[in-house]
């Protein structure tokens, strides 16, 4: 179907320029994506180093652990960890393995977005533009090449939804099972897929058969890991999920929903508005009952939003990236609904599409160049400032020394010391000792002492050496410019020696 002669919506051959857009647009979008992400290849979040440490320990036979031989569920994605560990076991640099896998999955997700867009929109020009908009999304550009599991989650999400959209529910459930090993939120997508299965037919005999097969496949994919997780860690819930979630509250639900919309509107405001207008237009149409079947992927977007809201999750951009393809595709879907209701000829519809694409690309480039690039450069510089501290621990601290830190990834990976982290990703007992107080208050009050009295502390604060005392003596302090995208102020990391 994709290889037939290029024609417009009315069956007329496309003009030379648009025929070339259809023919080469996807390749150009992918090349531009690679060229852009390679410019900030050095940007590596601390969480990536947590994956690298787990992967290295697995490859060395030290078990699924951050601190060698001490099992812990401190990563979100076991599958991503095993992929990196396979490279480490093959004597490849885990850092390069993680970043290479990340870029490959990201580029494959661009191609899959094009395929999904064509299936839904039935228009090659719209599909190419959808892929282009996704490839230039500022959030995607920021997180691609970081070595995190985000791009793999995006690819598997789009694949699962694509299969379900074609009513291939069993295959979709298998993909969803794999996806759950990458992001636990995929359990919600599995429920959405099963709901679509029941809604799309009135003959419940085959529906029940498909449902039973889907559940069997999904559970079969997850069971080995769930058994291993429970035996090794005493839980099947990653510590990362617990650390990012809060208690349920109605104000918190609204705050999370508003924050989710804000994060997405930073890069995809126009597609979001077009999506809303398109849904309203379709709802007003006499063909609403037929068209609502097209909107199944939007149910996944809504369910994920409310899932985060109910759990009071601290939403960050990479958590929302798996829904960005559907915001874009259905934004263009809404645009098609609008142009159809206005009865615009094909060439006018394409002109409107081009205008929307240019505006959205412009929005993303402004955000990317003015906010993302400066942040990533500052963050990379800050991580480089931390490395001497980590190497000092590696060289000067005793082999059996323990280190307490707010950010354990780089420090643990480079120093190879036993790390306790205040966030509780690796050592939940420390997080429990901070219950009821924030990080700064907990560190000043030495709340961590209820869980551990370390040999060294690496503290993050707005000033240098704030913990200095008779028993806690500073060794070195480094500055970290722009720790967070919305936290441009410089913070200071101070390494202390602790007397016992």
Please state, in angstroms and rounded to a whole number, the distance separating the CA atoms of residues 435 and 430: 9
**200 pLDDT above the threshold of 80:** no
Q: How far is CA 82 from CA 89, 129, 298, 366, 375, in A?
A: 10, 35, 31, 37, 30
For residue 16, what pLDDT band results from cuts at 50, 70 and 90? low
pLDDT tens-digit series, residues 327-372: 999 999 999 988 888 888 887 888 899 999 999 999 999 999 999 9
Task: Please tell me which residue, 243 or 477, carries the higher pLDDT value.
Answer: 477
For residue 129, what pLDDT band results from cuts at 50, 70 and 90? very high
Percent of the chain surpassing pLDDT 70: 95
Q: Which long-range contacts (CB under 8 A, 24 or more apart) does 223-228 make?
A: 225/78, 225/181, 228/64
Residue 251: per-residue pLDDT: 83
Exposure of 126 in the CB half-sphere (CA atoms within 13 A):
26
Task: Please tell me which residue, 18 or 377, carries the higher pLDDT value.
Answer: 377
- In contact, 300 and 327? CB cutoff 8 Å: no
Residues in the chain: 500
Please state, in angstroms and rounded to a whole number, the distance separating the CA atoms of residues 152 and 48: 14
Contacts of 224 (CB under 8 A, 6+ apart): none
- In contact, 32 and 137? CB cutoff 8 Å: no
pLDDT tens-digit series, residues 39-59: 888 899 999 999 999 999 999
**481 pLDDT above the threshold of 90:** no
Dihedral sign from CA coordinates of 54, 57, 58, 64: negative
Domain boundaries, the chain: 16-343, 377-498
**13 pLDDT above the threshold of 60:** no
Residue 479: per-residue pLDDT: 93
Residue 291: per-residue pLDDT: 60
Residue 286: per-residue pLDDT: 66
CB atoms within 10 A of CB 210: 19
Mean pLDDT of 21-28: 80
CB atoms within 10 A of CB 63: 15
- In contact, 177 and 221? CB cutoff 8 Å: yes
**203 pLDDT above the threshold of 90:** no
**390 pLDDT above the threshold of 50:** yes
**5 pLDDT above the threshold of 70:** no
Please state, in angstroms and rounded to a whole number, the distance separating the CA atoms of residues 405 and 427: 11
- Burial grade of 417 (CB within 10 A; 0-12, 13-18, 19 or more): buried
Residue 27: per-residue pLDDT: 87
Residue 399: per-residue pLDDT: 92
- In contact, 300 and 326? CB cutoff 8 Å: yes
pTM: 0.92
Contacts of 356 (CB under 8 A, 6+ apart): 270, 271, 274, 332, 335
Dihedral sign from CA coordinates of 23, 29, 35, 41: negative
- CA 247 to mean position of chain CA atoms: 22
pLDDT tens-digit series, residues 224-259: 999 999 999 999 999 888 777 777 788 888 888 899
DSSP 435: T
**8 pLDDT above the threshold of 80:** no
Please state, in angstroms and rounded to a whole number, the distance separating the CA atoms of residues 37 and 26: 17
For residue 269, what pLDDT band results from cuts at 50, 70 and 90? very high
- List the strands of the sheet with 456-461, edge to edge: 418-421, 402-405, 456-461, 491-498, 472-480
- Looking at every residue in the chain, the average pLDDT score rounds to 90
Tokens of 137: 């999304």
Contacts of 370 (CB under 8 A, 6+ apart): none
Task: Please tell me which residue, 1 or 227, carries the higher pLDDT value.
Answer: 227
């Amino acid at each position: 179907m994709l290889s037939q002669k290029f024609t417009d919506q009315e069956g007329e051959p496309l003009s030379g320029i648009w025929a070339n857009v259809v023919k080469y647009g996807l390749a150009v979008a992918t090349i531009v994506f690679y060229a852009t992400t390679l410019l900030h290849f050095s940007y590596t979040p601390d969480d990536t180093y947590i994956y690298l440490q787990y992967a290295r320990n697995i490859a060395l036979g030290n078990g699924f652990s951050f601190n060698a031989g001490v099992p812990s569920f401190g990563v979100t994605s076991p599958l991503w960890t095993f992929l990196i560990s396979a490279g480490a076991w093959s004597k490849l640099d885990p850092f390069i393995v993680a970043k290479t896998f990340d870029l490959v999955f990201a580029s494959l997700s661009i191609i899959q977005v094009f395929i999904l867009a064509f299936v839904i929109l039935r228009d090659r020009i719209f599909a190419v533009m959808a892929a282009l908009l996704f490839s230039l999304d500022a959030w995607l550009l920021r997180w691609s090449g970081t070595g995190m599991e985000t791009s793999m989650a995006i690819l598997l999400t789009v694949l699962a939804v694509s299969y379900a959209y074609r009513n291939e529910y069993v295959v979709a459930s298998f993909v969803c099972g794999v996806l759950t090993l990458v992001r636990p939120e995929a359990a919600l997508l599995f429920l959405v897929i099963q709901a679509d299965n029941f809604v799309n037919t009135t003959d419940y005999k085959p529906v029940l058969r498909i449902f039973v097969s889907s559940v069997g496949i999904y559970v079969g994919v997850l069971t080995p890991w769930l058994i291993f997780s429970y035996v090794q860690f005493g839980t099947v819930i990653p510590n990362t999920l617990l650390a990012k979630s809060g208690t349920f509250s109605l104000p918190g639900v609204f705050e999370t929903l508003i924050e989710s919309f804000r994060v997405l509107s930073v890069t995809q405001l126009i597609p979001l508005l077009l999506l809303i207008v398109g849904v309203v237009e379709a709802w007003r149409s006499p063909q609403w009952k037929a068209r609502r079947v097209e909107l199944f992927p939007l149910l996944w977007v809504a369910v994920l939003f409310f899932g985060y809201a109910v759990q009071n999750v601290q939403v960050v951009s990479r958590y929302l990236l798996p829904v960005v393809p559907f915001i874009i595709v259905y934004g263009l879907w809404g645009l098609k609904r609008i142009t159809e209701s206005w009865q615009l000829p094909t060439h006018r519809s394409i002109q409107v599409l081009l205008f929307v694409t240019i505006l959205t690309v412009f929005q993303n480039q402004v955000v990317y160049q003015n906010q993302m690039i400066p942040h990533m450069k500052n963050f990379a510089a800050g991580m480089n400032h931390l490395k001497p501290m980590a190497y000092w621990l590696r060289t000067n601290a005793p082999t059996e020394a323990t280190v307490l830190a707010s950010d354990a990834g780089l420090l643990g990976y480079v120093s190879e010391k036993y790390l306790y982290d205040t966030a509780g990703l690796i050592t939940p007992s420390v997080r429990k000792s901070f219950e009821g107080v924030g990080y700064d208050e907990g560190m000043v009050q030495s709340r961590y002492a209820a869980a551990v009295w370390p040999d060294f502390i690496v503290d993050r604060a707005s000033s240098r050496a704030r913990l200095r005392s008779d028993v806690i003596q500073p060794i070195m302090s480094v500055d970290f410019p722009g720790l967070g995208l919305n936290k441009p102020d410089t913070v200071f990391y101070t390494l202390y020696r602790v007397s016992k």
